[in-house]
Every structure is written in C-alpha cells, then in structure tokens.
Structure 1
Amino acid sequence: MVARRSVRDRLRHALRPRAGLPDAFPRSKPLKVRGRSVAWLPALLLLTGIVLLDANTSGRFRIISWLVLVPVIAAAICGVLGTLALGVLSLLAYGAIDASWPHRYQNGLPDFILVVVGSALAALACSVRLRAERQMLHMRDVAETTRRTVLRPMPPGWGGLDHAAVYLAADSEARVGGDFYDIQPGRHGTRLLLGDVQGKGLAAVEAAASLLGTFREAAYHEPVLTTVAGRLEVRMLRHNGYRVALGRDDGDRFATGVMVAFREDTPATVEVINFGHEPPLVVTADGVRSLPPGDGLPLGMGDLASAPPPVLRVPLAPGETLLMVTDGVTEARDASGTFFPLRDTLTKALARDPRTADPHRLVRWVRDGTLDHCGGRLADDTTIFAVRRRAADGRRT
C-alpha cells in the first residue's frame, strides 16, 4: 500500500494541472547550500576519503588509483570545467601521495596514466551529457508549445463557466496525445467540446488539433448545434483523406466526443450531442446522475448512420456541475482487472463532503481516485473536465 501511494504521489506531482505542465525532462539542478552550488562536494569528499585511507594503510593496500572515480562522479553532477578541475586535483593528489611512499610501494606511472585517461574521458562524458540535456530541453519546449496549441489555457470564468481540467498523458514525456477539450464562447451562447481521437502518437495529435480548430470557428459562428456537429464530421473525413493522400495508413481514424451548448435563453437546460462517447455525469451536493447516452456515431463514421446525431436537451440547474472524462478514467483497472467505479465512489465522496461537487475539487478527486485505483499505471491518455454555470453576478456558484 505504501509503494502504491508513493507511485500515485509522484504522478500527482509530476502531472498536476496548471498553465504549463512540468518538465518531462527536468533541468539539472546543482546541489545548493544557501543559494550557492556545491555540486563539487560529493566528488571532493570522495577524493579526500581516498587520500586519507591510502595514507593511513600499509603499503600492501594501496587504493590511490581509485582517484579515477573522482572525475567520473563529477561528470554526472558537475559541469565540464568542474569535472576538469576535479580531474586535475585528483592528479595532483595522486602525485603527492604516491611519491610520499617508499619506492617499492609506489604505484607509479601506469596508475597515473589511468587517472589521466579517466579524467579526460569523464570530461568528454560530461560534455555529452550536457549536450543531450540541452537537446531534450529543446524538445520539451517544442512539446510544450504543441500542447498549448492543442489544449490552450482558458481564463477563469471563460464563457460564463467555472471550469477545471486535468490532462494526464499515458506517455509522460509526450506531454500531449489524442485527448482534447475546449470552451468556445460565441454569438449563440457558449459551447464546449471534449473528445478522444482513436490511436496514439503524433497522428492522433494532428487529428485533435484539426477538430479543435474547426470547433473554435464553427462554435463561434454557427447558430445551430447540429451544424457545428456536421462541420466536425466533415473535418474528420477531410483530415483522413489528407492523411491517405500522404500515403499514411490511418485513413479510417475516428474520434469519440461530447459537445455541450449553454444557451443564455435557457439557463436551466443544456444541449448535448454525443459522438459515441461516455455520457457526462451531472454532479451535485446530493449525488450523481448520468446524462442520456445519445445515439451518435464517432466523428469520422457519419457515413454509417442514416441521420445526423440527435441533439439532447437535458436539465442542468444552476450550481450543478457537468463532469466529462475520457476512457483513461473509465477504463482504469486495478491489479485484479476491475474497472474504476467512478460513479459509485463519487457518490460516496459527495456524501462525505458535498463540496466535492466544485469543479476544481472534483477534477482533483477524480485524478487522485484514478491514480489510486490503477496504481499510477495509466494505460491511456486521461482527461478530466468539469464545468458549471457561474452565478448571474459572476461569482462562483
């Protein structure tokens, strides 16, 4: 249980929701004391220990050649100059200590050459390490820019909604995958979209970016929600056709999703179109209920249906929170293969603390519950998205 919680806590820290995700490849942070770097201290302590031990043992037990380890340790935690400096210090120490012994006990030139070669190779290895780290940090910056393009940050109260979201990538170094979500205020109310593109990798990211770009324009301009849905279907088909034209083999890619419209003239209801996705949950201080599943097919499969997906008009009272998740939550399994019972455990959590229905508290609770259930082993990208209308005076309800 302790090990499982430790995994969960590390993932919670590494994947916490904020404007910028943490580094997938963290920058090297030198050891510091009162703001000053002491990265050289472990290697210097090792050097001192070897020198003292060699000086206080018999001539039959000489370990001065172990000084070759000093620049090796420095190469892992210091810069190139620091590694070279410790290598030179090791050579000086070798010469002084070895010369202090009678001739028959001296290690002599062969071990001195060993320390010289070891110091030179350590400096080279340090240079390679730093170059690789710079390359990985550059890749991190590119991935962060991609993430912020696909999953743009949204200001508080965007579109008249209190909202909170957590995105957990199954591949923590990828930082972004096929899950997507957005809120788009427009001329005809506020619309939101959450979805999951089939597959993984950059191809799924491209499809998600294409759908979000179309949604942001269509949701702003189009007065009818079914028209927005039609635009998304066409966008998915066009994207698949483009990929086929490039010679890619993923022309049958599709995306599940849920689109919700908050109309200003109907403050107690919402319009929902479900594209083959898990139905959203309505969370209140009194409990949890599911929205109707709808009969829509995933985006990219519209040709298989005889009619466009229906628009469901469902009640959503002020103060009720709409919770939407991707299959990273619903398909999370524990060691015995049991799926995460989201609705049942959430109902119990609300009974203990009704404040869990707040969007920010809610996404944190679902995140922690999912990681606890699966032991930190995410099998798929995971998105948790919660929204509710703001009060008429702009306060959080």
Structure 2
Amino acid sequence: MTKVLDRLPRAGHLDAPQGHQTLRVRGHSVAWVPPALLLVGIMVADFNTTGEFRIISWLVLVPAIAAALCGVWATTFFALLTLVTYVLGDHAWPHQYQTGLPDFILVVLGGVLSVLACAVRVRGELRMLHMRDVAETTRRTVLRPLPPDWSGLEHAAVYLAADSEARVGGDFYDIQPGPRGTRVLLGDVQGKGLGAVEAAAALLGTFREAGYHEADLATVAERLEVRMVRHRGHTAALGRRDGDRFATAVLLDFPDDDPGAVDVVLFGHDPPLLVGPAGVRSLPPGDGLPLGLGDLVADGRPHVRRVPLAPGETLLLTTDGVTEARDRAGEFYPLADDVARALAADPRLVEPPRLVAHVRDGTLRHCGNRLADDTTVFAVRRSRS
C-alpha cells in the first residue's frame, strides 16, 4: 500500500515543502551546495582568465540554480550574495577590464526573477502536496485500513492506481465481521476518475452495513445491486454523462458454522483462485451480472455458491488490472500458471502476504511497470490458529 504523506507545511509558508527538497543526505537538505559550488567555481575561473575574458556575469546562473533546488529564503540569500560577489569581483580588476553597469543590471534582474520563479515553484509544490493529501484521505476513506488477522481471517492486499498521482480509483475491497460470519467484498467500478471513486464509496458503505446486519448473503448481494441502481439513477438525474456505470464484484462469506467452506457470489467478476498445499484451482465462473445491470434479466436474484476449502487454502482475488495486464507482445499475464509455478518452488506462497507480493511483482514485471488500469491484489484465508 502507498504510504501516508508527511504533514503539509502551514498555509502561506513559502519555503520548500518538507520532504520535497531535491537533494537530501541523511535527512538533511544539501540543496544549497550546487549553487554555492557554482558561485565559487565562477569566481575562481574568472580570476584565472585573462582580463579581456570576463565570465563574472555568469553569476546570474547561481540564483537560477537555487530557484530550482532551494526555498524562497535560500534563493533570496543567493541572489543577494551573488550581487555582492559580483560588485566585489568586478571592482577587483583594473577599470579597463570591468564589465560595468549592463552586467550589473543583468545580475540584479536575474536575482529578482529567480526569487519570483522560486516562489511560483514552491506554491505549486504546496498545491500538489495538498492535492495528494486530499487523495490520500480519500483513499483511506474508501479503502480503509484493515486490522491484521481480523475476525479470524488472515489477509493481505495491495492497490496500485494506474494514475500514480491520483492514488485512488474505482477498485475497492473491504472485510466486514458480523454476528454470523465475516464477509469480504472486492470489486471494480467501470471507468475511471472521481465518478468511479464515488460509486465505489457508495457500494462499500452499503456493504459495511448490510454485511453486518443481514443474515443471508443473498440479501447482502441484493442490497449491493439496489445501491448501484440507485446510484446510477442519482447520477443520471444530475445529468452526468457517467450515469451508466456498473461494477464487477466478488462477495464472500466465511460462515461461523462451517469453517471448512466459503460462500461466494460473483457479479460478472473473474472467479477467485484457490491457492493451497495441493496446488492452484479456480472456482467456476459465476452467472451473475455486474452490479447495476441486474434488471436486464428476469431473475436478477444473485446465486450463492458454497465452496469447500482445504486446510490452509487461500483465496486470491484480483481486478482486471492483473488479468488484463499485457506485455509488449500483447500477451495477457498468465496469473494461474505463474502462481502454480511459484507455489511448486515455494510452498510458503500460500501465505497471503507472500502471495500478494508475488502477484504484484509478476504483474508489474509482465507489463513493464506500465499499468493500463487500476490494479488490486487481495488474498484471504482463515487464520490457522
């Protein structure tokens, strides 16, 4: 999972944002070193050239470099230091070798423009940090942190947004313990952007309530279908062009009364893989339509299928960012075959963290780190203790 961003500087602070200094060594900023070295280098070079060849006006580059690397106050300091250095250095030569007023004006204007450019850069970085903080808050709201080994389930998950700056998209997952068992939901809203995030949040809110209160998993599935239809109607009434969204999903229930089984409902989603000591097997494809499209068939009631689980068997759920990842030749990522080979080489791959890490790395390696869609890998099994 992506890490939580550092806290932002207070509004109005025009120094470089913490953590976004271009050059840092052991946590300390060394962004001042390049402009300082450039200033010293220009002066040394100028004093070691002939009088007719003056490069002291190149000092205008010093605040420009500082503007790209340092904060506003540091850039201002280098602009003033450059001006003082220019005056002292230019007057150290005989009168006939001085560069004079034109280059003095150039250094002054260069310093002023560098400070202004630095202020614009820092404000842009602060704005970017604020937007990333908003995106991170949204991600943690939609994809809330899950306690480890929650309600008798071991689990691990990784979410990779196709847009690395967005940090959140239409993929969603959650675990909801309840009085009659623990439910799991993973899904993928069609499309991208804030509309997909909004739909995912609506479905997760319904799941967290229905998954706890409803005794029948089929009723939970119906509640999800109704919520998606209501959401579609609301967005269509607003006149938005994304009012026809749907979502594929997998709904699981680990019943308390049968620890050797799991109930599964598939809403147009790829069936989970079961990864265990005996190998890798796939559940049969479901007959359910994606959420929001249940009214297209006469009997839209979702079907619940109970699947036996072998001891230590892990369910692997992924979104189409995994199954539709392509290499340069256009070949899809062979998820089941890759997991089976890795499991034969390392039986510990049944552990959810290892399994999720392997699929994540395999997906990124297969597509050359070029994700075409949001990607979620989720692995869950009953706790062995």
Q: TM-score range by the shorter chain?
A: over 0.9
Shift of 1:345: 1.0
> TM-score if structure 1 supplies the norm length?
0.91
Aligned residue identity for 1:273: V
Aligned to 1:150: 142
- Counterpart check, 1:334 vs 2:327: yes
* 1-structure distance, mates of 2:240, 2:24: 50
User: Is the Cα contact below 8 Å between 2:176 and 2:211 reproduced in 1?
Assistant: yes
* Structure-2 separation of matches of 1:28 and 1:259: 41
- 2:309 aligns with one of 302, 310, 316: 316
Partners in 2 of 1:19 and 1:190 — Cα distance?
A: 27
| Distance in 1 separating the partners of 2:84 and 2:68 | 21
Equivalent residue runs for 1:96-107 within 5 Å: 96-107=88-99
Does residue 384 (structure 1) correspond to residue 365 (structure 2)? The answer is no
- Given the alignment, which residue of 151, 163, 182 partners 2:155? 163
CA drift at 1:26: 8.6
Match of 2:228 among 236, 240, 244: 236
Show the counterpart of 1:351: 344
Q: SS state of the match for residue 195, structure 1?
A: strand
State the Cα distance separating 1:106 from its structure 2 match: 1.5
- Aligned pairs for 1:142-221 within 5 A: 142-221=134-213
The worse-fitting range, judged by mean Cα deviation, of 54-63 and 347-356 is: 54-63
Q: Using the aligned pairs only, state the percent identity.
A: 68
The answer to whether residue 363 in structure 2 is matched with residue 370 in structure 1 is yes
C-alpha distance in 2, partners of 1:282/1:22? 38
Deviations along 1:88-109, whole A, 9 cap, x unmatched?
1111111112112222221100
Q: Distance in 2 between matches of 1:30 and 1:178?
A: 32
* Distance apart, 1:292 and its partner CA: 1.4
SS in structure 2 at match of 1:182: strand
Change in CA separation of 1:240 and 1:35 when aligned onto 2, cut-off 3 Å? closer
The residue identity in structure 1 corresponding to 2:314 is: T
CA deviations over 1:218-241 (Å, ceiling 9, x no partner): 010001111111100110010011
Amino acid of the structure 2 residue aligned with 1:214: T
Q: 1:81 aligns with which of 73, 77, 91?
A: 73
Provide the residue aligned with 2:64 in structure 1: 72
Asked if the contact 2:236–2:244 (Cα under 8 Å) also holds between the matched residues in 1, the reply is: no
Q: Secondary structure at the match of 1:172?
A: coil
Q: Which of residues 353, 366, 371 in structure 2 aligns to 1:360?
A: 353
**Matched position secondary structure for 1:57:** coil
In structure 2, relative to structure 1, the CA distance for the partners of 1:73 and 1:103 (3 Å cut) is: same
> Is structure 2 residue 272 aligned with structure 1 residue 280?
yes
Shift of 1:18: 5.6
Secondary structure in 1 matching 2:330: coil
Deviation at 1:157, TM superposition (A): 1.1
Change (3 A) 1:205 1:98: same
Gaps of 5+ in 2: 8-16
Query: Does the 8 A contact of 1:340 with 1:370 survive in 2?
Result: yes
CA-CA distance at 1:35 after TM superposition: 5.8
How far off is 1:60 after superposition?
A: 2.6
- Once the two structures are superposed, residues 290-310 of structure 1 have per-residue CA deviations (whole angstroms, 9 ceiling, x without a partner) of 011110000000011222121
CA distance in 2 between partners of 1:62 and 1:236 (Å):
73
Structure 1 gaps of 5+ residues are 1-16
Say what the alpha-carbon RMSD is for the aligned residues. Answer: 1.7
Aligned-partner Cα distance in 1 for 2:18–2:39:
29
User: Hey, what's the Cα distance between the residues in 2 that align with 1:284 and 1:360?
Assistant: 14
On the 8 A contact 1:318/1:388 being kept in 2, the answer is no
Instruction: Select the residue among 229, 248, 251 that pairs with 1:259.
Output: 251
Alpha-carbon shift at residue 111 of structure 1 (Å): 0.5
Number of aligned residue pairs: give it: 375
d(CA) in 2 for partners of 1:360 and 1:278? Answer: 21
Alpha carbons of 1:21 and 1:32: their partners in 2 closer, same or farther (altered >3 Å)? closer
TM-superposition CA deviations, 1:76-98 (whole Å, max 9, x none): 11121211111111111111121
Q: 1:20 and 2:4 equivalent?
A: yes
Q: In 2, Cα distance between the equivalents of 1:218 and 1:378?
A: 33
Contact 1:263-1:270 within 8 A present in 2 as well? yes
Equivalent-residue separation in structure 2 for 1:389 and 1:247 (angstroms): 45
Structure 1 residues 33 and 188: CA distance shift in structure 2, 3 A:
closer
Matched residue, 2:260:
268
Q: Measure the CA separation in 1 of the matches of 2:262 and 2:28.
A: 57
TM norm structure 2? 0.94
Within 1, Cα distance between the matches of 2:141 and 2:38?
A: 48
Local SS of the residue matching 1:159: coil
Determine helix, strand or coil for the equivalent of 1:158. coil
Q: Secondary structure at the match of 2:176?
A: strand
Q: CA deviation at 1:159?
A: 2.2
How big is each residue's C-alpha offset from its partner over 1:2-44, in whole Å with a ceiling of 9 and x where there is no partner?
Answer: xxxxxxxxxxxxxxx2663799x99313645566543212111
Q: 1:21 to 1:40 in 2, by over 3 A?
A: closer
Q: Partner letter of residue 33 of structure 2?
A: L
Question: Do the aligned partners of 2:72 and 2:119 also contact (CA within 8 Å) in 1?
Answer: yes
Who is 1:113 aligned against? Answer: 105
Q: Report if aligned partners of 2:151, 2:177 keep a CA contact under 8 Å in 1.
A: yes
CA distance in 2, matches of 1:26, 1:351: 46
Q: Is the 8 A contact 1:285 1:356 kept in 2?
A: no
Q: Deviations over 1:319-374 (max 9, x none)?
A: 10000000000000000100000111111101110111100000000000000000
Cα displacement (A) at 1:285: 2.7
